[in-house]
Amino acid sequence: MQSPHLFLFLPLLLPGMWADSEAELKVLRVLQTSLFTNSSSAEVYGLALLRDIPIYTMDRVNWTLSVQQPWAQRAAAEGDAVKIAAHYKTALRNMIRYMHDTAQDMAMEYPFVIQIHAGCVVYPNETASGFMDVGADGRGLVAFKAERRRWEAQQLSPLAQYISKSLNRNKSVMELLEHLLTILCQSHVLTLYRYGKADLERQEPPVAAVFARTASPAQLLLVCRVTGFYPRPISVAWLQDGQEVPPGPALNTSSILPNADLTYQLRSCLAVRPRDGHSYACRVSHRSLGTRSLLIPWENHSPVPTVGIAAAVLFIVAIASAGGIWWWKCR
């Protein structure tokens, strides 16, 4: 079951983090949002994703981890999950204490929100790199560079400068983070992938439909709705008379959004003139389709012939009725 507070992590899901090149990477992400309501309390929401599948959620009261996938439970029993969870709780307590002290030193106003996006990437050659980005109230604040063993400010504010300098003075914390984000994270990711291979490598083909909406008397909006696909990378294009429509103000494609069943959806809209005489089709390419593509046509038929046929039918019915009445009277 997904965390009900997943929306809190949306600012951490930066554009490009789901790039197509990630298809061959093994990525574990920890998303954490901490709401500091006053100088003595904080509410923490946590979620861990393996690529894009929820693996762990954290109870905001006692900070216990709940496993979201059956195969992740088996991987946790074999791997370093217990050790990682213990380190995580220790780091969480220290982080909360540190932010309260920082708020006092920097005269910060409550409430404020601290967001953390951390984890590791395991490459095809099984080398790994860790990352940790910290934001405040939706803006990047500081980032830990594991390969350099140092924190770097992500903005020129006094708060970012203060935090990066104070954290860089604590060598033991940086050594712990480097070990946690590389060695332990890499080992656990490889274990998770071994148990969850079927789910992580599954492919669900897209289902697509095309329909039209009247935006104005002079504009028709063609909508291509694509849903139910996995993995996330997908290509959607519009064709006009068999030629691909280039990017422009008439073309608008939404972001890729998740469905409740761990598949994805998106919409692509094309603005056209009514009865312009062109034919249109939506083309969808996805890994599950192999080398072929879905091609869903929409023909821009004029309503005039339909109206003419209807009028002709009514005229014939009227003539027949009049003739029937005349024949009945004559008889």
Residues 100-121 pLDDT 10s: 999 999 999 999 999 999 999 9
pLDDT tens per residue across span 200-241: 889 999 999 999 998 888 899 999 999 999 999 999 999 999
Q: Are 87 and 176 in contact (CB under 8 A)?
A: yes
Phi, psi of 164 (to 5 degrees): -60, -40
> Cα-Cα-Cα-Cα dihedral of 153, 155, 161, 5, to 10°?
-80
257 vs 265: CA distance, rounded Å: 5
Q: Domains in the chain and their CATH numbers?
A: 6-200 (3.30.500.10), 207-301 (2.60.40.10)
Amino acid type, 297: P
Query: Going by C-beta distance under 8 Å and a sequence separation of 6 or more, which residues neighbour residue 22?
Result: 51
2 vs 30: CA distance, rounded Å: 14
Bridge partners (DSSP) of residue 268 are 224, 253
3-state secondary structure of 120: strand
Q: Where is average pLDDT lowest: 9-13, 56-60, 99-103, 318-322?
A: 9-13
Strand ranges (DSSP E) for 59-161?
65-67, 112-122, 128-136, 139-145, 150-153
235 vs 229: CA distance, rounded Å: 11
| 57 class by beta-carbon count within 10 Å (0-12 exposed, 13-18 middle, 19+ buried) | buried
328 vs 323: CA distance, rounded Å: 9
pTM over the 0.75 mark: no
Order the strands of the 53-58 sheet from edge to edge. Answer: 65-67, 53-58, 41-50, 26-38, 112-122, 128-136, 139-145, 150-153
Give residue for tokens 């959806």.
Answer: 265
Does an H or E element contain 314, and which? helix 304-330
Q: How confident is the model at residue 16 (pLDDT cuts 50, 70, 90)?
A: very low
3-state secondary structure of 274: coil
Which residue did the predictor score with more confidence, 149 or 108? 108
- How far, in Å, are 33, 153, 181 from residue 158 at the CA level? 22, 10, 27
184 vs 118: CA distance, rounded Å: 13
With a cut of 80, say whether residue 14 has pLDDT above it: no
Strands 219-229 and 26-38: unpaired
Q: How confident is the model at residue 51 (pLDDT cuts 50, 70, 90)?
A: confident
247 vs 244: CA distance, rounded Å: 9
Q: Are 298 and 222 in contact (CB under 8 A)?
A: yes
What tokens were used for 80?
Answer: 């370093």
Peptide bond into 231 cis (omega under 30): yes
With a cut of 80, say whether residue 250 has pLDDT above it: yes
pLDDT score for 321: 60
Residue 138: other Cβ atoms inside 10 A = 10
